[in-house]
Amino acid sequence: MSASPAAEADLELRDAHESARLGPYLRDLWSRRSYIWYVSTNELRSRQVTNVLGNLWHLLNPALGIGVYFVIFGLLLDVGDRSSDNFFLFLTVGLFVFQFTQKATTDGAKSIVNNLGLLRAIKFPRAMLPVTSTVTETIAFWPSLLVIYFVAVLTEGVRWQWVVLPAIILVQALFNTGSAMIAARMTTHFRDTTQILPFFFRLLLYASGVIFNVDSYADGNKVVEWLFTLNPMYCFITIARWTVMDTPVRPEYVVSMFVWTILIVVLGFLWFRAAEERYARD
């Protein structure tokens, strides 16, 4: 007695790593949010478990980093006089906001290639891996936010715009998620991506106004100003500086920030998911 067509469809062999449709895929990813949080928090603990000062390094690392950059660019190279009256806070905000995306992207780039054994053994939404790396870096960023507020209190005083900064960081976290997914897939095709990214971000650092005030160097050149407006990192940094320093911010920076975030998240996710079934085989 032959089986019915419906029964034959049920018995059809399927690839264990076959991706689900978009709706079920997103629901499956959302249902694992507790696990993503658990892995992210444990990753942060494990990073400092062998250090004497432990989690205190989450505060010391950003503080020491900003100190080094201030000595080099603020004191030795004397960039600060032309960039801002409060160059220390100017540099603090720019560097921390920039490093947030840099760390999330570089960690996301390794999220697939460092977990090939897990990918081949267990079926789960592959997007969990770059999402988890981004959540980890987002949690790790909050001590840097405290350092920004601390420096602002000492040098500028409290401003009402402070309440906006955490929202900007959350928008940037979404941007970082898409960036991490793009980098994760690129690394599966070209493993040297992880070696190239540090050089890319070093160049981007100087092209994003992290260390200098773009307006003071552009001298009203509209082409230069629009090029920086099209740079999402410059927009994130400029808006973040407005929240703690009350520096001028143009409406087009806000528009650029949101447009880039939506594009990177949507296109990054779709491009990453298009190769979902390949990750366990490569």
Using DSSP, state whether 154 is helix, strand or coil: helix
* Tens-level pLDDT at each residue, the chain (282 residues): 455 555 444 445 444 455 567 888 899 999 999 999 999 998 888 876 666 566 666 677 777 877 887 787 767 666 655 556 788 889 899 999 999 999 999 999 999 988 888 888 888 889 999 999 999 999 989 888 988 998 899 888 888 889 999 999 999 999 999 999 999 999 988 888 889 999 999 999 988 888 887 776 666 677 878 888 899 999 999 999 999 988 888 999 999 999 999 999 999 999 999 988 887 766
Q: Is there a contact between 110 and 187 (Cβ–Cβ < 8 Å)?
A: yes
Residue corresponding to tokens 């989690």: 55
CA torsion through residues 60, 63, 65, 68, sign: negative
CA dist., res. 201 & res. 107, Å (int): 13
Name the pTM for this structure: 0.86
* Sequence-separated (6 or more) residues with CB below 8 Å from residue 131: 29, 36, 177, 180
